[in-house]
Structure formats: C-alpha cells, structure tokens
Structure 1
Amino acid sequence: MPESPAHPIETLIEARWVIPVEPAGTVLADHSVALDGGRIVAILPTEEARRRFVPRHYHRLTDHAVLPGLVNLHTHAAMTLLRGYADDLPLMEWLKAHIWPAEARHMSPDFVRDGARLACAEMLRGGITCFNDMYFFPEAVAEAALDAGMRAAIGLIVVDFPTAYAGDPDDYLNKGFALRDRLRDEPLLSFTLAPHAPYSVGDDTFEKIATFASQLDLPIHIHLHETEDEIQQSLARYQQRPLARLHNLGLTGPGLIAVHGVHLNADEQALLAAQGCHLAHCPASNLKLASGFAPIASLLQHGVNIGIGTDGAASNNKLDLFAEMRLAALLAKGVSSDAAALPAHTALQMATLNGARALGLDDKIGSLIPGKQADIIAVDLSSVETQPCFDPISALVYAAGREQVSHVWVDGQLRLDNRQLTTLDVRELRLAASVWHSRISTEREQP
C-alpha cells in the first residue's frame, strides 16, 4: 500500500530530546513536535515526522531539549523597574520604608507598562511563556503581555487602602471586573482575583472576594504565611492564624493559589491538601527577604500541588525559573535531609504543568500533548557547562541556565528565535529603563 501524502503544517521542530513532562520523567530521544493553528498536532520520531509533514517553518535543533514553556506562578512584573532599589532588608521594612513609598511617588500606567514590558523580555529570554501577575494598573500589564505575545494571568488586585490606581476595595474590584469584561476574549489572557495579603485586606473585602470568585469561577491569588510577623499580627488582631481566617471566610478551595507558604504547620499543610489549594513557591525571594524555608517536601507528601514563582525583580532580583527550579530542589533536599525529596523531574513539573494546573490552564499548557496550545521552548545543551549529558532532565534542572534557551514559541508563534526576541525591541526597553532609573534616583535623593 502506498504511503499517505505528506501533510502541510505550520512548524516542525526536530530535537535531540523531547521532554513532554507528562507522563512524568518521559524523555523522547530523536523526536519532533509538529505545530499547526497554534496547537501541537503530533509528537513522533523524527524520521516518521519527515515523511508525514511538510512544514512552512522547519527547525532542526540537534543538540537541544524541547519542553513546555515555563509557567511563572507568582510575580509583580512592573517591579522590574525597582530591581536592586532596596536590598538586604526584611519584608516589612522593605515594604513600608522603601517599596510602598517609591510606588506612591511613581505609580502610573506608564510605570507599570514599561516595567512589565521589561519583565516580559526577561521572562521570554529565560523560557517563561506564561506568568501570573499581581500589581496595580493591571490593564497596563495586560497590554505589555499582549505586545510581547506572552500568556498571562492578570491579577485583579485588591487592598484596603487607597493608591494611585484605586480609592477603596470596591473601586479596585470594579476596575478589575471592567478590565476582565473588556479583555476576556483575548486568548493569551486569563484573570485571577488578587487580594494582596491577609494583613492588607479586611474581612468584609475577603467575603466579597469569596463570593465573586465562586460566581465567576476565578482563582484567588494571595500572599500567605510569608513571615512569622504576619502570623503574629493576625493572632493579635483576629485571634487566628491567616490561613484559618481565610478558611473561615470561605476562601480556601481548588481556586486558591497561596504564595510563599513559608510558615505552615502540619495541620495547615493538611488543610491546603484537603481543600485542593495550590502553592506558589518562591525560594529565592524567601531567602533574600530572610522569610524562611517553605516546607516543600512535607507539602508534597501531603499532596499539595506546588508551582514555582520568581516573585518580583525587586525582591529576587531576577525572573529566572531555571535558577528557581534548581534552588527549590536543593532546598527541599537540605531542609528535609532527604536527597530524594524533590527529584529533577518533579522540579521541572513544578515549573510547568503544576503552575498551569494552579491557574486552571492545564488543559491548554504545561505539557506537550497533541491538542494543547503550542507553548514550547528549546534549550541548547551542547555547551561545555552541560556536557556530558546522561539525563537531559537532570541537565535542565541542575546544570543548565536561562542563557541556554534558544527558541520560544507561544501559541505556535516564535517569540525568541536563536536567542533574539521577535516582538520586543531591546534598545527601546533599555532606554525606558534608563529614563525610569534617572527619575527614581533623582526623586530618591530629594530631601
């Protein structure tokens, strides 16, 4: 019987290894990924792919691992403009004495748009194709993400105090819902309700958020149990720990994305697991702010879904999920005294599929499966720093760096081509950063 004629497609990516993330630990040697219409249409041995498909765009990546785009489960993209602004301080001093005053002076749609565009460039160059953001003027973050061609979960931020963005909790919510209504059909955008933290949001506001989250089927994205001080404040003010307070107010459940979770006792870990909550683990930020060590090995044993986030560049100071994967794995081993506590394949899953699952996007992204959206990255493992390569998953987590990301596709569209951005002008980004640096530095020096 004669072979079927070759089928035309948009893109064919040939790779030394394809790492689909699910099934867990799978490595497909000498395989190719076929893309068409923004989706993955097939993953198959390269020789067979050459016979079956005629691509418009062909990428032969003979020394590369091809894998799902990374999902940054927690960031404040615009705060890239405050990178290095106030280092080596504990969280509340950092926030109250430095970051919040700087934001009060400079917060505007232009600040957020320029900072988010800078962050998008950094993230794309590092293999991040989707980020979960929490910040003021979320419409400017959405605009930046769309300009970059990135996938983003836009947090509809809520706090109980006025800012340049909104005057009171109802104002925050109304502006957020108006934005969601306006952009809800954008295929690269999704939305979360983003109350900042238990210490900045009151009970009445939380009750409204719980109601809206249920009615609109929106995730809730919140900082939680980040520091011991946060817990002591809650005990003094509400006579209960923050997670217990959220649970009593109806906020726990499969839609809750708890960020940090550094100080969780055994009962709280069990509650998160029983409620189907998710955790955004930000190991570098936790260390830099001296917040502590999240009990990741124990949370994994409880069955909590854990993704990885960078936090903002003001507290990290980089948006690098390769570094976070490695740090997360090493810390989990060290804290638990168990070298197998967080294996390389689990760390990679945390940075991809688990983050997608927390955002309710795991039917679209987070793994390489025919029918899913084509959010894909290629990592060049030919350098001396990653040789020899016995296990490409181990190489990605423990040896490779974001500088080895060579190609990035979002929705099947090439956003990084041989390490060059296709949607953002690096010179323009540098100029904007320079302008903001001068403005912030000048106002900082004024008495």
Structure 2
Amino acid sequence: MGFWCERAWLPGDGGAPGHVAESVRVETAEGRIVAVEVAAPAADGDVRLGGLVLPGLADAHSHAFHRALRGRAHADGGSFWTWREGMYALATALTPELYERLARAVLAELALGGTTAVGEFHYVHHRADGTPYPESEGGPNAMAEALRSAARDAGVHLTLLDTCYLHGGLGPDGHEPLAPEQARFGDGTVEAWARRVDALRAAWADDDRVLVGAAAHSVRAVAPSELAELARWARRTGAPWHVHLSEQPGENEAALAAFGVTPTRLLHDAGALGPGTTAVHAVHLTDDDVTLLGASGTGVCLCPTTERDLADGIAPGLRLLRAGSPLSVGTDQHVGADVLAEARGVEEHERLAAGRRGAFPPATLIELATSAGHAALGRPDAGRIAVGAPADLVAIRLDTVRTAGVDPAQVVLAAGAPDVSDVVAGGELVVRDGEHRVGNVARMLADAIEEIWAATGRDVTKETRT
C-alpha cells in the first residue's frame, strides 16, 4: 500500500536531527515500510496525506481506566491523595467487560490524536476481592485480555506493562499490607506475579501487535528484595520494565524514614536501574538521584499534564537528559489525550523552572514523542519514517486555527490532537479525515464512563475534597 505525503518528517543521517522533506512517497507491506522516496509523485491508488506527516506517536505511560476521572476530581481543589480515593472507587467497579469498553474508547481517543503505540501500566488484575478470575470468566489474565481486545479494535500497538503491586504503602516500620480497595492489584509474591505474566507472554507470543513488559508500581508497593527479583526477571526475559518514581514528596519521605535512602537509591541498590528500565515522573530528585539515573542509562518518562493536574511538580528533564537518561512522554491519568501536548509540556516546564526558552529544540521534542517513546515500550525500530520501520504515520494539518502560518519544522510547539487528520498504524488506516474507524468515540467514552460510575455507587465530585 502506498501513502503520498505532502510533507514528512524524516530521520537525519548519522545522528543528525530529523527534518521536513517535501513530496514523500511511503510504500508499505505487511505492516512495515518497504520504500521511502523524496520529491516523488503520487502513484495511482496512493492514500494522500496532507500537512506534515510524522512517525506514529508513542504514549509511554497510560492508565486507561483513569480516564473516567477526567473533570470529576476538582471539587474544592483536592490533592493527589484525595484524587487517589476516586481512582480506587473506579478500580473496584471494573469488570473485564466494562474495562474493555472503556479502554477501547480511551485508546481510540489516543489514536485520534496520533498515538499509534501505548504503554499501559496495568495493575487491575483480579476480581475486586483479590481472587483471580476463574477460567470460566477468562482466567487470571482476563483484564489483560480486555486491554488487548480494546487495543486491537482501536488500531494501536499495545505494550502491556504488567505491574507488580504487593504492598499497600510504606510506613516508618516498613511495608504495609494491601488495603481492601487494593486487593485486586496484588499477586501475593513476585513468584506468583511472574507465573501469571509468563503465561501471558506465552499466550501472546504470536501476536505482533502486542508486547508484554513489566512494571513495579513503586517503592511503596514493592519491597527492595522484591525489586531485585523483578529486575532479574526483566533481564532474563529482555522485557522492558517501568516504575513510578518520586512523583510526590511523600514517597521520598517514606523511603527515607523506612530505609534511610531515596527511592532512586533503593532502585539502584536493588539492581533495578539500567537501559531496560524506565522511571515514570521522577519529579522530586536529589543531585545524586539524577546522577544514578543518568549514569545507568535509565530512561525517564515525563507526564507534564498529569504532573500539573495533580500538583506533582516540575521534573528536572534537561538535567536528566544531560546526565544520560533518554526521555519519553506519557498521558498517565488521561486528563488529556495528547502526546504532542505532553512533548511540548516538557519544554514549557523547563522554561518555567529555568526562566529561559529553547532547552529542547523542536526536533528533540518530536523524538520524545516518537522514537524515544517507542524504544521505552520495547519497539526500538519504531518511530521513524524509514525502510524497515513499522508503518505508523500521523498527518498533522497545517491549515487549522492553531497551525495556520507555522513553520512545519516547529509544528510540535503549536499543534495538538485536534489537528491530526489521518493516522496509519501497522499499515492500516485507523483515522481518516479526523474520524476513527470505530465510530463515535465521544459517545463511546460517555456511555462507558457513566456506566462505570453508576457501578461504584459513589459520587467522586463530593468525595475527592480536601
């Protein structure tokens, strides 16, 4: 199948930054790019893509079910911790059927904004009482299968970051047991988690649209010895693995009180840092933390929209990059569904923190949203319009009220999800002229969210207050 691009963002030679090229024809076969021609005419039957065509965007950190909290957790301000109570209410109400419906709509919303690969940080594993789903209800990985089905329908590649979540928190005397509302997150032990995930990896081995990775929820939910076991599992399997890190000062204070070191140092001492690891948020870091992450080549996924919404703070993105940590971006709790906005937010946060502009050139921001994000999700060949790469393309309109008159090379600093016209994922046309192939995504979202909140029997707008 052929795609003719009015303009396309092509990779530079020898490590040079990417650049805009005119009249680019992309030939695909079996989901991959097999030819790229510059200054080429369109061939008969080509799909024409106007504006600027970028490689597919990567959302490196997603919690799909959090989308149901958008616009419902701001009564009287709230805080990260009161927001979390609403999240627990949602998690308790989910069933595989409800989760599949919600996730299908959430992933389709991401696709409408140009996302072609999602890293789903998945910890809603079992029934609400913590017991595994029986085979008659889909088996122990029923919730994961719901996410796979949703991703297939939405037309996105899925990296399922199956999350180990063993403890309810971290107090001065160590880790605490799971609370009742956290019961469905836990597997009991790392060994039990690994047996379930190994079975999932075997079941999905022949599906080239999905990848099973791993995650530790945080140092609050996984003890140091357990982190070491997870790190060994990740090295043995070669799977990407992620961990929430220092999103809130409270996590740092708890780690210091219990162990006398920061969460980053805990990960380092457990052998959990390195090029296969991605730390998510990494907001409240010491100078030593930045050095440990950078020197080990540990990736960092920044989620600026969430970090603003939850008053987390501003991560030291430029310092981390200079120290040696590859950066990616994620939508996290889906207060927005716009990977371009997340990439732009990295630069905007740096401007606020440093009082100067231009820390991250536009080409670097595009890399954060594309190739770097795909690499963090175990897809190092993706995120480039080049022969051999997955055929993931995103057309950005240059004639909207937001983008009219912009320099195409700087579009990442102006455009957002509403400016995406067409999306190709794995060679399939998923979005055409701003319409997703599944139909009315807004209606799907509204119906699923309404049903889930009805199932909770609670009103989060009254409960998540300070």
TM-score normalised by length of structure 2:
0.85
Of 390, 401, 421, the residue aligned with 2:436 is: 421
Larger displacement relative to structure 2 (212-221 or 252-261): 212-221
Alpha carbons of 1:299 and 1:446: their partners in 2 closer, same or farther (altered >3 Å)? closer
C-alpha contact 2:98 2:448 (8 A) present in aligned 1: no
2:347 corresponds to 1:329: yes
Measured in 1, the distance between the counterparts of 2:461 and 2:454 equals 11
Alpha-carbon offset, residue 34 of structure 1:
2.2
Equivalent position amino acid for 1:311 in 2: D
Alpha-carbon offset, residue 428 of structure 1:
4.5
3-state DSSP of counterpart to 2:422: strand
Q: What whole-Å deviation, never above 9, does each CA across 1:103-141 have from its counterpart, x for those lacking one?
A: 23x132223222211211110000000011112233321
2:105 corresponds to 1:118: yes
Equivalent position amino acid for 2:447 in 1: L
C-alpha contact 1:21 1:67 (8 A) present in aligned 2: no
Aligned residues: 423
5+ residue gaps, structure 1: 1-9
Give the structure 1 partner of residue 20 of structure 2. 27
2:413 corresponds to 1:374: no
Of 394, 402, 420, the residue aligned with 1:405 is: 420
Equivalent position amino acid for 1:127 in 2: G
C-alpha contact 1:222 1:258 (8 A) present in aligned 2: yes
Alpha-carbon offset, residue 49 of structure 1:
4.4
Give the structure 2 partner of residue 86 of structure 1. 73
Alpha carbons of 1:377 and 1:444: their partners in 2 closer, same or farther (altered >3 Å)? closer
Give the structure 2 partner of residue 208 of structure 1. 229
Alpha-carbon offset, residue 230 of structure 1:
0.6
Alpha-carbon offset, residue 446 of structure 1:
11
Measured in 1, the distance between the counterparts of 2:321 and 2:312 equals 20
2:190 corresponds to 1:164: no
Alpha-carbon offset, residue 378 of structure 1:
0.5
Alignment of 1:231-250 (within 5 A): 231-250=252-271
Alpha carbons of 1:44 and 1:444: their partners in 2 closer, same or farther (altered >3 Å)? closer
Measured in 1, the distance between the counterparts of 2:208 and 2:439 equals 20
Measured in 2, the distance between the counterparts of 1:433 and 1:92 equals 22
Give the structure 1 partner of residue 171 of structure 2. none
Equivalent position amino acid for 1:89 in 2: G
Q: What whole-Å deviation, never above 9, does each CA across 1:39-71 have from its counterpart, x for those lacking one?
A: 11222234x344xxx55x422334x10110110
Give the structure 2 partner of residue 174 of structure 1. 195
Of 27, 31, 42, the residue aligned with 2:35 is: 42
Alignment of 1:7-22 (within 5 A): 10-15=1-6, 17-22=7-12
2:337 corresponds to 1:319: yes
Of 349, 357, 360, the residue aligned with 2:378 is: 360
Of 90, 95, 101, the residue aligned with 1:108 is: 95
Alpha-carbon offset, residue 264 of structure 1:
1.6
Alignment of 1:436-447 (within 5 A): 436-440=452-456
Q: What whole-Å deviation, never above 9, does each CA across 1:290-335 have from its counterpart, x for those lacking one?
A: 111101121122231000111122xxx1221122122221111231
Alpha-carbon offset, residue 265 of structure 1:
2.0
Equivalent position amino acid for 1:273 in 2: G
Give the structure 1 partner of residue 140 of structure 2. none
Of 409, 433, 436, the residue aligned with 1:393 is: 409
Give the structure 2 partner of residue 4 of structure 1. none
Equivalent position amino acid for 1:401 in 2: G
Alpha-carbon offset, residue 444 of structure 1:
6.0
Q: What whole-Å deviation, never above 9, does each CA across 1:252-305 have from its counterpart, x for those lacking one?
A: 111111000101222221211211110000111111111111011211222310
2:150 corresponds to 1:144: yes
Alpha carbons of 1:171 and 1:419: their partners in 2 closer, same or farther (altered >3 Å)? same
Measured in 1, the distance between the counterparts of 2:321 and 2:265 equals 20
Alpha carbons of 1:442 and 1:418: their partners in 2 closer, same or farther (altered >3 Å)? same
Larger displacement relative to structure 2 (269-278 or 166-175): 166-175
Equivalent position amino acid for 1:255 in 2: G
C-alpha contact 1:148 1:424 (8 A) present in aligned 2: no
Alpha-carbon offset, residue 416 of structure 1:
0.4
Measured in 1, the distance between the counterparts of 2:348 and 2:311 equals 17
Equivalent position amino acid for 2:153 in 1: D
Give the structure 2 partner of residue 282 of structure 1. 303
Alpha carbons of 1:84 and 1:430: their partners in 2 closer, same or farther (altered >3 Å)? closer
Alpha carbons of 1:122 and 1:358: their partners in 2 closer, same or farther (altered >3 Å)? same
C-alpha contact 1:333 1:341 (8 A) present in aligned 2: yes
Alpha-carbon offset, residue 181 of structure 1:
1.3
Measured in 2, the distance between the counterparts of 1:434 and 1:182 equals 33
Identical residues among aligned pairs (%): 29
3-state DSSP of counterpart to 2:183: coil
Alpha carbons of 1:140 and 1:173: their partners in 2 closer, same or farther (altered >3 Å)? farther
Alpha carbons of 1:109 and 1:367: their partners in 2 closer, same or farther (altered >3 Å)? same
Equivalent position amino acid for 1:412 in 2: G
Measured in 1, the distance between the counterparts of 2:336 and 2:430 equals 20
Measured in 2, the distance between the counterparts of 1:24 and 1:444 equals 46
Alpha carbons of 1:98 and 1:438: their partners in 2 closer, same or farther (altered >3 Å)? closer
Measured in 1, the distance between the counterparts of 2:313 and 2:459 equals 33
Give the structure 1 partner of residue 159 of structure 2. 153
Of 270, 280, 290, the residue aligned with 1:269 is: 290
C-alpha contact 1:297 1:332 (8 A) present in aligned 2: yes
Measured in 1, the distance between the counterparts of 2:233 and 2:444 equals 39
C-alpha contact 1:375 1:410 (8 A) present in aligned 2: yes
